A and B are shown apart, each in its own frame.
Chain A
Amino acid sequence: MKFGVVISEGPYTHEAADTAYHFVKAAIAKGHEVPRVFFYHDGVNVSTRLSVPPQDERHIQNNWTALAKEHDIDLVVCIAAAQRRGLLDQNEAERQGKDANNIAEGFRISGLGQLIEMGIQTDRLVMFGD
């Protein structure tokens, strides 16, 4: 089965990004496909490469980057939600005249159309949030 996953709460404050991570790993281990994960609302904050949690804690962004690389998962960050919250890739930083960018490897910024498309193209859409 093809699963689409949405993460709609921020890292560390909320467990959504962790639960989704365990769900995606388990689904793939069972032979399912997870072609895309979409980050929305505060979930976009997972994609910052400037996160530095204490060493004895899980690193949520690194976990996602590694999982995406291993299983070729498309990690999409909503552009409108990201820009509100100060998350920019290099292109957007240049376009908006900002002096830095902070999107981690494996994530890409794109539009909400990617969320709808995921709903159309997958068998089940699973949302992790409040």
Chain B
Amino acid sequence: MPDVKKFLYVNRKAPYGTIYALESLEVVLIGAAFEQDVSLAFLDDGVFQLTKGQNTEGIGVKNFSPTFRALGDYEVTKLFVERESLEERGLTEADLQEITYEDEDDDWAEKPSIRVVSRAEMAEIMADQDVVLSF
């Protein structure tokens, strides 16, 4: 068994309305301590989790979207967003938060964590994983 496994967290649901998105993020943050090869996938309504300008005042629920910007500090640097899911919802990459990480292999250069990929590419990413957790 390899020492490091590829973990993929698949986020398919909108950030509010159900608790899946928040509790998925809680797993990601705890899981970061285990030093595995972690990726996050955002597809279907899950793409709404990364939108900028979220305001939850009206529903009395905590806005946890700023936490995504801290993922780089946890060495979670691969956030794959499915292009077709964005398009189907009238969104573009410009509607998403800017999320970056500092690349220690490149003199700590700041790089974008979000990578928009096609549905076909997403399928390949999934097929390449050891452990897939679906939320």
Does B66 sit at the interface, judged by CB under 8 A? no
Report the Cα distance A59→B135, complex, angstroms.
26
Comparing A19-27, A47-55, A63-71, A114-122, the segment that makes contact with chain B is A114-122
Q: Across the two chains, which residue of chain A brings its CB closest to B32? A: A116
Does B56 sit at the interface, judged by CB under 8 A? no
Question: Please, what's the 1-or-0 string for B22-56, where 1 marks a CB less than 8 Å from any CB in chain A?
Answer: 01001100110110100000000000000000000
**What's the nearest-Cβ distance from chain A to residue B42, in Å?**
17
Given contacts A111-B30, A112-B30, A119 and B131 within 8 Å (CB-CB): yes
- Residue pairs across A and B with CB atoms within 8 Å: the count is 46
Secondary structure at chain B's binding surface: helix, strand, loop or mixed? mixed
Q: Which range contains the number of B residues in contact with the other chain?
A: 10 to 19
The reply to whether B27 and A112 form a contact with Cβ atoms under 8 Å apart is: yes
Q: Which of A41, A80, A112, A120 contacts B20, CB < 8 Å? A: A41
Q: Which range contains the number of A residues in contact with the other chain?
A: 10 to 19
Q: Across the two chains, which residue of chain B brings its CB closest to A113? A: B30
Residues of B within 8 A of A127 (CB): 132-134
Given contacts A40-B23, A81-B23, A120 and B133 within 8 Å (CB-CB): no
Residues of A within 8 A of B31 (CB): 112, 115-116
Residues of B within 8 A of A6 (CB): 133
Residues of A within 8 A of B132 (CB): 125, 127
Residues 70-121 of A at the B interface (beta carbon under 8 Å) = 80-81, 111-113, 115-117, 119-121
Q: Across the two chains, which residue of chain B brings its CB closest to A85? A: B19
Given contacts A40-B23, A120-B5, A120-B36, A125 and B30 within 8 Å (CB-CB): no
Q: Which residues of B are interface residues toward A (Cβ below 8 A)?
A: 1, 5, 7, 19-20, 23, 26-27, 30-31, 33-34, 36, 130-135
